[in-house]
Amino acid sequence: MTAYLIKNVSVVGGAPTDLLIRDGVVAGTGTGLDAPDAAVVDGTGLVALPGLVDLHTHLREPGREDAETVESGSRAAALGGYTAVCAMANTSPVADTAGVVEQVWRLGRQAGLVDVQPIGAVTVGLAGERLAELGAMADSPARVRIFSDDGHCVADPKLMRRALEYVKAFDGIIAQHAEEPRLTEGAQMHEGEVSTRLGLTGWPAVAEEAIIARDVLLAEHVGSRLHVCHVSTAGSVEVLRQAKRRGIRVTAEVTPHHLLLTDEVVGGRGTLASPALADGWSPTASYDPVFKVNPPLRTGVDVAALRAALAEGVIDVVATDHAPHAVEDKECEWAYARPGMLGLETALSIVLDVLGPRWDLIADRMSRIPARIAGLDGHGLDPAPGVPANLTLVDPAARRVIEPTELASRSRNTPYARMTLPGRIVATFLRGEPTVLDGKAVK
């Protein structure tokens, strides 16, 4: 295993120092380090962060390898600065058995680019009717600890209570896709002024907020852990704030696209929460299916509330909800397009715009806390002697124009095409082995 000496790098925004990586761990830190046998990486002007951890990734394999594979998604993750991703269960077949989650886990190990931690389904086939093999998945080599029917809400309160009770036995987590299905039948985008103007069936904010309110009460009653996926409304933020004040064991995530894009883009208007990124960028046309996502893009008021909640800690982490789709599933009429956006290779740039160069806070929201939630040993740890060398090097001064054809994903459905984003991943190390060097994938 090659040793690496990273010179003059700022660790989580601190003073420049050297990092020596040897035998998979950080072997030394300090100024003026010398290691004749080590490959030297110039870290001048770069920031070293603990490797990023994503709690919400869709890798599509098995079943939709035309859109993404575990290998291609892992490569995209590494290029985005990630060393671990949690793979959602809505594959084909669904990851609702020990056999399927072990398959995904082994594919991740074979790719060797990031640690792939499978998320198991809560219910058989994501149908919301009976619990899946939660215990068997937890006992499998994949050691599943997070369970989610993402893409579908566990709408039955009795079933949700049973799931929370079951996973409590091994300190597991139910990650809820909060959407009351009876309030979103036929919905195409956020319910509001823009949906009325465009003639699209609206998706009310209360459909999300009602489920979160119900589930935090269930989690409090059971004393179990609840995680809320892709929070998107100001009302949801208030429900979560009150739940945390009461000491309920709830965590929540927000996606990069819900921190930046508003429902106005569906109507062809270039409304972004960040004026800096809006300069020179606009959506190409109205009804562009690249902006169709579940939950939908919300209003500027919602985006502002999400950004504030992330900084405050009411929302614990940023998760990408990386959702690759084949061309035919996106380049079609809006009503027939599948919801979802790419996110792994652009997430850190969006968060850097939202939070600014507050590196300790960025490390919390994108590495330390998600690793803690998922129980991923060896991840989310700041570079220090004896710590596994899972880290990423960021050039905060760089700016890059996003070109869909240059992304590592098999899909091209990025909402940030032709947008100029801040920051660039220069290198990513997984247990001391580089997966990205000089901004390029190593393998």
Q: How are beta strands 16-22 and 39-42 bridged, if at all?
A: unpaired
Q: How far apart are CA 149 and CA 177, in angstroms?
A: 7
Contacts of 231 (CB under 8 A, 6+ apart): 178, 208, 212, 237, 240, 252, 253, 254, 258, 306, 309, 315
- Residue 275 annotated as part of some ligand binding site: no
* Cα separations in angstroms, 271 against 185, 299, 341: 27, 10, 18
Give, for 240, the enclosing helix (H) or strand (E). Answer: helix 234-245
Q: How are beta strands 16-22 and 47-50 bridged, if at all?
A: unpaired
- Residue 190 annotated as part of some ligand binding site: no
- Residue 340 annotated as part of some ligand binding site: yes
- Residue 294 annotated as part of some ligand binding site: yes
- Residue 150 annotated as part of some ligand binding site: yes
- Residue 59 annotated as part of some ligand binding site: yes
Both structure tokens of 46: 């770069």
Contacts of 126 (CB under 8 A, 6+ apart): 89, 90, 94, 96, 149, 151, 152
- Residue 56 annotated as part of some ligand binding site: yes
Neighbours of 141 (CB within 10 A): 11
- Residue 413 annotated as part of some ligand binding site: no
Q: How far apart are CA 288 and CA 284, in angstroms?
A: 8
- Residue 152 annotated as part of some ligand binding site: no
Pick the catalytic residue: 149, 288, 302, 321? 321
Closest to 255 (Cα-Cα) out of 202, 146, 177: 177
- Residue 221 annotated as part of some ligand binding site: no
SS3 at position 400: strand
What amino acid is encoded at 433 in this protein? E
Asked if 321 is an active-site residue, the reply is yes
Q: How far apart are CA 66 and CA 198, in angstroms?
A: 32
- Residue 325 annotated as part of some ligand binding site: yes
Binding residues for Zn(2+): 56, 58, 150, 177, 230, 321
Catalytic residues: 321
Query: Which residues does the annotation place in the binding site?
Result: 56, 58-60, 90, 150, 177, 230, 294, 321, 325, 339-340
> Binding site for substrate, residues?
58-60, 90, 294, 325, 339-340
